[in-house]
Structure 1
Amino acid sequence: MGSVQRLILGSASTDFTVVHLSTWESSSLGLQKIADFIRSFVHFFILLLLGKVDLAHIHISERGSLLRKFSLSTTANLFSVPVVMHAHGCEFHVFYQSSPAFLKRIISACLRQCACLIVLSDSWKDFYVKSCGLTADQVVVLKNPVVFPDFIPHRQGGDTITFAFMGKLNQRKGVYDIVNALALLDPHERSGMRIELGGSGETQAIQDLAKSLGVQDLIHFHGWVNEELRNQILAGADVFLLPSYNEGLPMALLEAMSWSLPSISTPVGGIPEVIDHGFNGLLVHPGDVTGLASAMALLRNDAELRLRLGHCARESICGLDLETYLTKICNIYLASTRTFCRQALEKA
């Protein structure tokens, strides 16, 4: 969510003015989180009172994020300001389906109030329409944007094939599966592999697992990575790994594809709508450690396949460039405003 917001803010059209209100900082804990939200809510309320808000673009996830953002959207509706909600939550379906009936009704009602709900894939659109009662016209599929690097390194491979991962180091992202899959491989085969893990999270637990399986020397932990280090890692990688259990449409995967990297991922969320198994990447089922190990071995040993999948990966997401994305965002803003005004006149 944060990556998408930064791209929008960094390249916003001069046709309108954007005021960014952050309701939560990643470093905030406890009472500070509440204080961050209250500060942003008050700022938003003042702008509404002054009549300086023509449209509210609200990014939502699940659980606490969802409930916080609904207070903003409800307030905007009280001031007759159209709301565009932007759903990023990779586990929203899990949260929604496990919620009690009364909470489901509240969530669905709040979502239906928005002029437009942006989702990351066709599968997510189907979910919001069928489960939450939104109309098909109300839900717009807009895949995440990606900034394409100008230069792609010449990858022919060597004695060591580098597999890169970017994201939160936890079970949902499949990081433990990566370590277990590496350990399943023949020692001679895995000796020609290197795993680069970029991200923070359950680092110590994953390091302990790697040590217990005897593969700790093959894994390098970078910790949190900035844009420059991310690009260095992707430039030096041969394969990207993202064996997730739940996803929206991960920016890390799109960024890897823009670097002409073949990916080994899973058919969850919007991933199967950008990864075509055997054409621009490989897909294994979540939790299938044996299948993951086989896919890693296949790409480790077949340089021609790696290069072909990587080339097709970059070509297949050419339509997700940032300029095209921003044009679509502007069109959504205009269409949502027109729709909101039309509905207001019909109610009057």
Structure 2
Amino acid sequence: MEQRSGNRILLCSDYLPPSDGGVEQVVQKLALHLVDEGCEVGVFTLDDGARDFELQDVPDVSFHTASALDLTDIIGLQSMFSVSALSEFRRVLREFQPDIVHAHNRFFYTSVLAAVYSICADYKLVTTLHLGDIGMISGFGGVAAKTFEQTISRFVISRSEQVICVSAAAELIAQSLGANRTVVIRNVVDINEFSPNSINGKSLLYIGRFVHNNGIQDLLTALPSILDSHPDAEIHLVGSGPLEEEVLATIESSGLSDSVTTYDYVDDISEMYDRASVFCRPSYSEGLPLTMLEAMASGVPPVVTAIAGVPEVVTDYETGVLLEPGNPDEVAQAVIELFDDAELRARLAKNSREYITENLTWEQRTEKVIEVYSQVTTNV
């Protein structure tokens, strides 16, 4: 075998941009920052034929895909399945010869592949847990996720030399699944891409997949009260997913069409934060939502549920407003209060931006991830 110098890193994610989830955004940014730090980077993802990947045209990234079926609309949770990935992943391992395979999300198909092949292949497996407690996910999707977590996710964790957790709450989940070596490295933001652009109007922004897990249904329930108090407010909903038809139908049937604008995908998401005065994502399950951090970096105060890693970053009425999940009335009250009080809005916006710039930048995160790679390859 040809001798190699330095670490070769293969990042694995079922989804990548232009898919609009937070995990895929993190993986893409990590790939680019690792390249900037001199690492040899490969990426393996799944392709349902519905998009052209942004990373495939980056010359310094070795980009690989396998055809797949997206099951999200069937089970209600983000999910992919691929038969061809079994052989394609083996081919990529043979050709790219990674020192480290870095899997993302304990529920992703590619994470399972990375764990299975680690049994016989010569690489170290690192896994990042992006999601916290899934206990509030209901229905068939919740049952499936909990069963998967206690079986297959446990296997992925058991094969991982190191588990990176995006929050202390996610670290507790990792440890409950048997992780021996864990470290908290929080999600971060490009503070140059996302920066404040103060507006005087009343504009509410939601960004995320239209799934029950993200609480879009609670926000829709809260909108009539918000608009009764502030009929001049603008509502912007950015996302797509299995609840998309239900979201559009609710907007129409509730008479909200004149105030609500929906977007299935936005090329430059920073422009959406530039239009917003309040951000809201009333999720039921998260790790540390990237969109919340982007809003904070953009000086848009977040109204978010106090779950998983969110309270580790958002201090109630200092850097945002914290809510209990599953309470549309609280959502409405918090948004109305911020629309009513421009001074409070401005203070939270300033504090949010300062917190991000001091604690959560990509330079800080990349350095910490590379340190993890160094530790696992030297068995420290």
TM-score where L is the length of structure 1: 0.84
- Report the counterpart of residue 87 of structure 1 in structure 2: 129
Letter in 2 for 1:5: V
Letter in 1 for 2:212: Q
Deviation at 1:145, TM superposition (A): 1.9
CA contact (8 A) 1:245 1:268 kept: yes
Q: Larger strand proportion, structure 1 or 2? A: 2
Please give the alpha-carbon distance, in whole angstroms, between the structure 2 residues aligned to 1:327 and 1:285. 34
Letter in 2 for 1:7: K
Q: Deviations over 1:3-59 (max 9, x none)?
A: 0111012222443211112145583427995255235313234237xxx32111122
2:372 alignment partner, SS class: helix
CA contact (8 A) 1:182 1:190 kept: no
2:43 paired residue among 20, 34, 38: 20
Q: Within the alignment, does 1:172 sit opposite 2:213 as a pair?
A: yes
2:160 paired residue among 114, 117, 138: 114
Q: Deviations over 1:273-332 (max 9, x none)?
A: 111111110011111111111101100110000010011111112221111111111111
Please give the alpha-carbon distance, in whole angstroms, between the structure 1 residues aligned to 2:220 and 2:70. 33
- Report the counterpart of residue 346 of structure 1 in structure 2: none
Letter in 2 for 1:57: H
Q: Deviations over 1:203-251 (max 9, x none)?
A: 331122123222221111122122x2x1111111101011111111111
1:154 alignment partner, SS class: coil
Please give the alpha-carbon distance, in whole angstroms, between the structure 2 residues aligned to 1:109 and 1:197. 37
CA contact (8 A) 1:61 1:90 kept: no
2:205 alignment partner, SS class: strand
CA contact (8 A) 2:118 2:159 kept: no
Deviation at 1:176, TM superposition (A): 1.9
1:140 alignment partner, SS class: strand
- Report the counterpart of residue 179 of structure 2 in structure 1: 134
2:197 paired residue among 153, 156, 159: 153
Please give the alpha-carbon distance, in whole angstroms, between the structure 1 residues aligned to 2:206 and 2:25. 17
Root-mean-square deviation over aligned CA pairs: 2.5
Please give the alpha-carbon distance, in whole angstroms, between the structure 1 residues aligned to 2:49 and 2:349. 33
Q: Within the alignment, does 1:329 sit opposite 2:365 as a pair?
A: no
Letter in 2 for 1:76: S
Letter in 2 for 1:213: S
Q: Within the alignment, does 1:284 sit opposite 2:323 as a pair?
A: yes
Q: Within the alignment, does 1:70 sit opposite 2:112 as a pair?
A: yes
2:276 paired residue among 237, 255, 273: 237
2:293 paired residue among 251, 254, 276: 254
Please give the alpha-carbon distance, in whole angstroms, between the structure 2 residues aligned to 1:311 and 1:193. 22
After superposition, the Cα gap between the structure-2 partners of 1:173 and 1:140, relative to the gap in structure 1 and judged at 3 Å, is: same
Q: Larger helix proportion, structure 1 or 2? A: 1
Q: Within the alignment, does 1:199 sit opposite 2:239 as a pair?
A: yes
1:263 paired residue among 273, 282, 302: 302
TM-score where L is the length of structure 2: 0.78
Q: Within the alignment, does 1:275 sit opposite 2:298 as a pair?
A: no
1:237 alignment partner, SS class: coil
Please give the alpha-carbon distance, in whole angstroms, between the structure 1 residues aligned to 2:300 and 2:219. 17
Please give the alpha-carbon distance, in whole angstroms, between the structure 2 residues aligned to 1:320 and 1:333. 20
Runs of 5+ in structure 1 lacking a partner? Answer: 343-348
After superposition, the Cα gap between the structure-2 partners of 1:251 and 1:206, relative to the gap in structure 1 and judged at 3 Å, is: same
The number of equivalent residue pairs is 323
Deviation at 1:108, TM superposition (A): 2.6
Deviation at 1:186, TM superposition (A): 6.7
Runs of 5+ in structure 2 lacking a partner? Answer: 1-22, 51-67, 72-79, 136-141
- Report the counterpart of residue 301 of structure 1 in structure 2: 340
Q: Within the alignment, does 1:55 sit opposite 2:100 as a pair?
A: yes
CA contact (8 A) 2:205 2:273 kept: yes
